[in-house]
Amino acid sequence: MVVTRFAPSPTGYLHVGGARTALFNWLYARRTGGRFILRVEDTDQKRNTPTATQQVLRDLRWLGIDWDEGPDVGGPHKPYHQSQRGEIYARYVKQLLEQGKAYYCFDTPEELEALRAKAGPGFAYARPEQFPTDEDAARARAEGRPVAVRFAVPQDREFIVDDVIRGQVRFRPGEVGDFVIQKSDGFPTYHFAVVVDDELMGVTHVIRGQEHLMNTPAHLALQEALGFRTPVYAHMSVTVSPDGGKLSKRERPKVLRQAIQAMGDVDVEALAQAASLSAEDVESFLAGKSVPDMPAIDAMAAALGVSLPEINVVDFFRSGYLPETMVNFLALLGWNPGDEREVMDVQELIAAFELERLTKSNSLFDRKKLMSFNTEHIKRLPADRLLRHYRAFLQETANPATQADDATLMRILELCRGARTLAEIEQKCRFLFVEDDQVVYEDKAVRNVLHKHDGLGVLAEIEKNLKDWTAVTAEAVENLLRRLAEQRGVGLGKIAQPLRVALCGNTISPPIGDTVGLLGLDRTRRRIRRALEGCTQNP
């Protein structure tokens, strides 16, 4: 039975790279009828934040990635937080110590730094002739020195990683230096915890980023020393950002900083307040000295109206992408079904997924293509599913449209066929959810539409024609406009646009008949009147 896992370290939101790793592991488990485990690698006390785990789980659920074992669902190998598995790791550390395969060391960070500086690049920890005893360790502890444990990596043999994607990768003897397996705070290091947990949890296939390929010989050595199995390894290509380099969460703060610097003078106090930071924090961020957490970054961007590149899964949700899109797109980054299918649903993805078809080379995250996938998925998704996604999207930002009933939202969704994101739909139908006297008239629209080609005159004529209507249909409205266009000998655009601007304040809305239909006669008349009265001055 195939067992895969995703093991995020909860240092922030789940980003797309992590989501892709999770997805591939999940797809493979689902494809083979195996099990998928979620394990939280929270052994770094300095970096983990308490809310991050919940956010990561939430992001995975949004994507539709479920786990058979892990936080919230439990399982036979609990606990699934590494921070709670201390005793287990301690047992194996003890075993290695007793077998003389690992040893204590007492260096302070400063001493280590000095050694590294002296040795230059290619530093390898010098293994002592005699390993310190338990008594030595106790004494060191009593003296307040840090006590860590290093694994004595066999130096006389080569290690061969047998990788599904890359074939055999050889590492010469002496290539892997002795590395720390237990930190002085008592926590295991990543290298140690993965090896132990993968063994204990019965993981058969390790699918992870290529950046881990160089760590694998160390894991192999550890497995051998502990008498563990070696799982099947698949080191996937990495997703890179358009300007080269790994797609990283650091991109958002970077873009924000550049945007602010480009704006010239900004109100630091206001910014600090928006992000609930101190002015010093903001200054320090702008100077490139520090980086606040993601919610603070998001808050500042929102306050300034700067749009940041989406990096985290939640960013794509907020930008109006569907989980179906993300899953489809991410799956195609470094994998393909071997035929010419591209837009696929999850079931198709699962049915077609094979490790053998993973690509070796890195790929660029192309937001343009992502958007085109989203357009396709919006089109092909059943109405009720789309409605659910749209409600979730509206709720995320407490949009007034949340108040609308299902029938209204369904109608909106229908009218917005062809939209590329949920955000576009929201924008296109926002006019429905503002009060008639709150419509904001965009300068550009007023200038180009109402004040050209006798836009106001057209509007007045429409008002006159609408006066004694008692009911309205999209068709009737369009017939009226068509008639007026004919009378004036102009295109429909010259007639429809002034009305659209009067009703929406801008030039974007569903087909004009439907726009009036959604609004109803009274609100339409009120808005026409207001436009006629308020937009006589050229802005």
Site for RNA in 338-357 (CB under 7 A): 338, 340, 342, 357
> Contact with RNA (CB under 7 A): which of 180, 272, 275, 429?
180
First to last CA, the chain: 70
* 108 sits near RNA (criterion: CB under 7 A): yes
Q: How far is the CB of 435 from RNA (least distance, A)?
A: 21
- Is the bond preceding residue 79 a cis peptide, omega within 30 degrees? yes
Find the Cα–Cα–Cα–Cα dihedral 115, 118, 119, 124, rounded to 10°. 0
Distance in angstroms (rounded) separating the CA atoms of residues 131 and 114: 22
Stretch of 197-205, 224-232, 238-246, 289-297 contacting RNA, by CB under 7 A: 238-246
By DSSP bridging, strand 159-163 and strand 167-171 are antiparallel
313-342: which residues touch RNA (CB under 7 A)?
Answer: 332-334, 336, 338, 340, 342
Selecting among 78, 118, 249, 368, the annotated active-site residue is 249
For the bound state, the minimum distance from the C-beta of residue 323 to RNA, rounded and expressed in Å, comes to 19
30, 101, 191, 249: which one binds RNA (CB under 7 A): 191
Q: Is 292 or 334 the residue whose CB approaches RNA more closely?
A: 334
Is residue 158 near RNA by the rule CB under 7 A? no
Contacts of 526 (CB under 8 A, 6+ apart): 436, 437
Whose Cβ is closer to RNA: residue 284's or residue 507's? 507
Q: How far apart are CA 298 and CA 293, in angstroms?
A: 9
Pairing, β 148-151 against β 179-182: antiparallel
* Element of type H or E holding 218: helix 216-226
Least distance CB 265 / RNA (angstroms): 33
Which position among 255, 266, 364, 476 is part of the footprint of RNA (CB under 7 A)?
Answer: 364
Binding status of residue 175 toward RNA by CB under 7 A: yes
Binds RNA (CB under 7 A): choice among 164, 387, 493, 525: 493
457-476: contacts with RNA (CB under 7 A): none
Distance from C-alpha of 145 to C-alpha of 156, rounded to nearest angstrom: 32
Among 419, 432, 439, 458, binds RNA (CB under 7 A): 419
Residues in CB range of 34: below 8 A, 6 or more apart: 1, 2, 3, 4, 28, 204
| Measured CA angle at 92 (ends 90, 93), to 5 deg | 60
Whether residue 484 contacts residue 458, with contact meaning beta carbons closer than 8 Å, is answered with yes
Write out the DSSP string of 164-196. Answer: TTTEEEEE-TT-S--EEEE-TTSPBPHHHHHHH
Q: From the list 323, 498, 513, 517, which residue makes contact with RNA (rule: CB under 7 A)?
A: 513
Verify binding: residue 249, RNA, rule CB under 7 A: no
Residue span binding RNA (CB under 7 A) among the ranges 127-135, 256-264, 399-407, 494-502 = 494-502
Closer residue to RNA, CB minimum distance, 280 or 366 = 366
**Percent helix, strand and coil across the chain, each to the nearest 5:** 55, 10, 35
Site string for RNA, 271-310 (x = CB under 7 A): ----------------------------------------
CA-CA distance, 234 to 162, in Å (whole number)? 9
Task: Write down the residue that tokens 């488990």 correspond to.
Answer: 29
The answer to whether 82 and 39 are in contact (CB under 8 A) is yes
Does residue 14 interact with RNA by CB under 7 A? no
Q: What are phi and psi of 168, to 5 degrees?
A: -85, 130
CB of 286 to RNA, least distance (A): 24
Single residue of 51, 73, 91, 123 touching RNA by CB under 7 A = 123
From 262-270, 296-304, 364-372, 381-389, span contacting RNA (CB under 7 A)? 364-372
Rule CB under 7 A: is residue 380 a binding residue for RNA? no
- If binding means CB under 7 A, how many residues of this protein chain bind RNA? 89
Asked if residues 64 and 327 have their Cβ atoms less than 8 Å apart, the reply is yes
**C-beta closer to RNA: residue 7 or 531:** 7
- Is 249 assigned a catalytic role? yes
The verdict on 187 binding RNA (CB under 7 A) reads: yes
For position 399 contacting RNA by CB under 7 A, the verdict is no
Among 130, 361, 470, 538, binds RNA (CB under 7 A): 361
489 forms part of the interface with RNA (CB under 7 A): no
Which residues, other chains included, contact 354 with Cβ-Cβ below 8 Å and sequence gap of 6+? 31
Please list every residue from 425 through 444 that binds RNA, using CB under 7 A.
428
Among 91, 229, 360, 452, binds RNA (CB under 7 A): 360
Determine which residue in the list 53, 95, 284, 375 makes contact with RNA, applying CB under 7 A: 375
Q: By C-beta, is 53 or 215 nearer to RNA?
A: 215
Helix ranges (H only) for 322-430 are 323-331, 346-352, 367-380, 383-396, 406-415, 422-428
Q: Scan residues 194-213 and list those touching RNA (CB under 7 A).
A: 210-213
Closest to RNA by CB, 362 vs 399, is: 362
Structure tokens at 380: 């092909």
For the chain, give the number of residues: 539
Among 284, 359, 402, 465, which residue interacts with RNA (rule: CB under 7 A)? Answer: 359
- CB-based contacts of 522, cutoff 8 Å, min separation 6: none
- CB 86, min distance to RNA, A: 13
For RNA, give the closer residue by CB, 66 or 211: 211
Contact with RNA (CB under 7 A) among 30, 41, 96, 349: 41
Q: Contacting RNA (CB under 7 A), which of 134, 366, 384, 486?
A: 366
- Scored b (16 or more CB within 10 A) or e, 152-163 reads bbeeeeebebeb
Active site residues: 249
